[in-house]
Amino acid sequence: MTQKIELTDIYKIAPHHRFQWEEAQNCYVILFPEGMIKLNPSAGEILNLVDGKNSVENVVTLLKEKFKDAGDIEKDIISMFEFALNKAWISKE
Amino acid sequence: MTTLNNGVEANITQTQPLWLLAEITYRCPLHCAFCYNPTDYADHTKNELNTDEWIKVLRDARKMGALQLGISGGEPLLRDDIEDIVTEANQLGYYSNLITSGVGLTEKRIDAFKAGGLDHIQLSMHDITEEISNFVTDTKTFKLKQKVAAMIKDRGYPMVLNVVIHRYNIGHIKEILEMAEKLGADYVELANTQYYGWSLINRNQLMPTKEQIDEAEKITNEFREYIGNKMKIFFVVPDYYAERPKKCMNGWGEVFMIVTANGDVLPCHSARVLPNIDFPNVKNYQLNEIWYDSSAFNKYRGDDWMKEPCRSCSEKENDLGGCRCQAYLLSGDAEGADPICTKSPHRHLIDQALEDSKNEILQAQPIIFRTDKNSKELIQGEHKERLKDFKAMP
Ligand code: SF4
Ligand code: SF4
């Protein structure tokens, strides 16, 4: 059931979910009832920009600026959005 | 109030108490037949930690990396300091969960929890019928639970319903799910009874048949299909009908830490039944010493303690030999394979229990409800006939 991500879409962290940096684990985590997910560094960087204001396109631009040597990361970012949406970690603004 | 490990990352390399369960009091106004609390809880209702001691526990565990906090019991709302505890938990950055029967949840208290930053409330429900709900809890609480559910929803909390499944309600799975939908539940846990504590003594009365479980699972899957992402449904398959045990608590001393009402620290709910282990208490030791260095927490960590058939088993990473408490309670050998495993030399005990669950004479024995009186009687050695199959008092 993959939903399509448009570059103009704006997402936020889904209700009842909390996204935060965890010093003790040295990574970002998502917390929700009965569960927690430790995010790998790139997923963490992406979700950190999912704030109900940035469009998907903005997120891509910002990360391209931040990681200049990373090459074409747009596809990876979009698939991360798809993944997060399917897991219901993020929802549309 | 059993399943905690949905969604925990599987490949954890280094132990860290990510989940802290505060069993904040063993007192409870309900008397559930399936309660997993120790049958000798009446001995542990004294010397509860006070507010400051709990706050220290929260701070220390948070420093060690704890993230998910469950506040449970007994009925946590019997304490009047839950407001202070959730406020502190929020400030520390916990994702906090109040696990309650709903008794004692007033408008005033829920507003204070909201203001303090409590993240969610898990409400136990029992059945769609008032009769059965009141019967298994041995109280008149059905209507109250409905009211509390509405209050939880009204305050914008995610609604997590926990329904312990047993012979008396397994035929109503569809109706229970429909009720959950009507109440606007976001998550529903259909937790098949696991047999520890009170539920073990009442096993013959509570255990459904294989056919009933299969049917319930089928109905659950159909309902999932219909409801989609709107309501997440967890169906926790009961051990007894499986061929391999579960990786109990995701491994002994791996990610779960339970602090009981009087401050004893345990790696799982029922660990106190195990022989020759002294569980350290937060009044005498620092929490990090307890987690990393105590002999109790190291005793069954990893797989060095194993013996055959687990030691040389190719599947041992999957389940780490299953549950130590179940192994001990049923076979008398705390280091043996969990008797659920078909490779265990004690599997026949499980098969016998499955047979017994069809025996109408055994089923007709009265349920021993979780009451102070029954707990005291069990401590004094009464009800021997009900305990003779178990190696320790469950
Ligand atoms: S299972 Fe029932 S009796 Fe046991 S603590 Fe929960 S509400 Fe109380
Ligand atoms: S023999 Fe032991 S390790 Fe192997 S599957 Fe059975 S319980 Fe697990």
Q: In 3-state terms, what secondary structure has residue A25?
A: coil
Q: Which ligand is nearest the CA of B319, by number?
A: 2
| Span of B23-32, B119-128, B376-385 with lowest mean pLDDT | B376-385
Average pLDDT, chain B: 87
Chain B's closest residue to A26, CA to CA, is B65
Neighbours of B13 (CB within 10 A): 5
Residues of chain B with pLDDT > 90, as a percent, come to 50
pLDDT for the residue B9: 40
One-letter identity of residue B380? Q
What angle, rounded to 10 degrees, do the helices at B130-137 and B142-154 form?
100
pLDDT for the residue B14: 72
pLDDT for the residue B392: 67
B1 touches chain A (CB under 8 A): no
Pick from B338, B126, B150: nearest CA to B247: B338
**Nearest-angstrom CA–CA distance, B346 and B339:** 5
Q: Contact B95/A36, CB-based, under 8 Å? A: yes
What six digits make up the tokens of B7?
Answer: 């969604």
pLDDT for the residue B33: 83
Q: Which parts of chain B are beta strand (E)?
A: 19-23, 68-72, 95-100, 120-125, 159-165, 187-192, 232-236, 256-259, 265-266
* Residue B6 pLDDT > 70: no
* Residue A33 pLDDT > 60: yes
CB of B68 within 6 A of ligand 1: the answer is no
Would strands B187-192 and B232-236 be described as parallel, antiparallel, or unpaired?
A: parallel
Neighbours of B233 (CB within 10 A): 17
- Check if the beta carbon of residue B227 is closer than 8 Å to that of residue B188: no
ipTM: 0.81
| Span of B129-133, B143-147, B177-181, B267-271 with lowest mean pLDDT | B129-133
Mean pLDDT of B5-24: 68
Q: Contact A35/B189, CB-based, under 8 Å? A: no
List, for residues B331-384, the tens digit of each pLDDT value.
Answer: 889 999 999 999 999 999 999 888 888 887 777 778 888 888 888 888 888 777
Q: Determine which of A34, A37, A86, A91 to mutate to test the interface with B (most B C-beta atoms within 10 Å).
A: A34
One-letter identity of residue B336? G
List, for residues A39-62, the tens digit of each pLDDT value.
Answer: 999 899 999 999 999 999 999 999
Mean pLDDT of A60-81: 88
List, as one string, the DSSP characters of B68-99.
EEEEESS-GGGSTTHHHHHHHHHHHT-EEEEE
- Check if the beta carbon of residue B73 is closer than 8 Å to that of residue B269: no
Q: Contact A22/B4, CB-based, under 8 Å? A: no
List CB contacts of B225: < 8 A, sequence separation 6 or more: none
pLDDT for the residue B139: 79
